Chain A
Amino acid sequence: DQQVKQNSPSLSVQEGRISILNCDYTNSMFDYFLWYKKYPAEGPTFLISISSIKDKNEDGRFTVFLNKSAKHLSLHIVPSQPGDSAVYFCAASGSSNTGKLIFGQGTTLQVKP
C-alpha cells in the first residue's frame, strides 16, 4: 500500500528553467509534508516542508504547493541549476503516527547546462 506516490521516476530540464516535481498521497491523516534531496551514497537532505494548514511555502528558489482536496503537492525549483541534479523524495507524516516519515519512490531530476 503506497500511501505516498511520485509517479514520475525521472525529469529532465534545461538550466534556468522551472523544475516541477509532483507527489500524491492517499492518507487524509497526513498533516505535514516534506521534500528531501538525495545525492548518490549520501543520506537525504531536508529541503523544504509545509504544514497542512498552509497551501504554499517558499524558501529561495524552492516553493512547495499543497492541494489538500486533491491530496497533491508539488515542488517548484526556479531557476533550476545543474547542482540541483539529484533524487528528490517527498515524505509525509501525521500527528498521530509518532513522527515517522512515509516516503515516495523518488524522482530523479537532471538539470542540463
Chain B
Amino acid sequence: NAGVMQNPRHLVRRRGQEARLRCSPMKGHSHVYWYRQLPEEGLKFMVYLQKENIIDESGMPKERFSAEFPKEGPSILRIQQVVRGDSAAYFCASMTSDNEQFFGPGTRLTVL
C-alpha cells in the first residue's frame, strides 16, 4: 500500500511564475490536508479538501493560492505569480476514517 505521494519533490521557480504541487493520497483516503513549513518554523495548516469540495481554507492566503481535489487524479496546490516569500516546504496529508493523518515527503519550493 503506497503512502502519500507528492511531486515534484523539488521545484524551482522564478518570481512571477506559477507553481503546481501535486498530492496523491493513500489508497482509499478521500480527505487531503495541505500544510506549509517555512524555514525554522512548524507546519502551518493551509487547506482541507475532500473529493471535489473545499472544506476548510482558513489557512490559505487570500490571493495567488488555490487548491483542488478533483474526482479523478491528485490534489493540486497552485501558487500563481510566486514571490520569494513562498519558498517553503509544502506537505500534504491524507486522513483515515479514524482521524490519523499520514504525511507525504513534501515538495520543497524555491523561488529565485
Contact = CB atoms under 8 A, between A and B. Distances in A.
Interface in A12-47: 32, 36, 41-46
Interface stretch (B12-20, B67-75, B96-104): B96-104
A100 B42 contact: no
Interface of B: 4, 6, 31, 33, 35, 40-45, 48, 55-56, 59, 91, 93, 95, 99-106, 108
> Chain A interface mostly helix, strand, loop or mixed?
loop
B48 A100 contact: yes
A100 B49 CA distance: 11
A32 B56 CA distance: 19
Contact of A101 (B31, B33, B40, B106): B33
- Interface size range on A against B: 20 to 34
A103 B93 CA distance: 14
A61 B104 CA distance: 25
Across the A-B interface, give the 9 residue pairs with the lowest CB-CB distance, nearest first: A43-B103, A103-B42, A98-B56, A100-B45, A103-B43, A105-B42, A44-B103, A43-B105, A43-B104
A41 B103 CA distance: 12
A102 B45 contact: yes
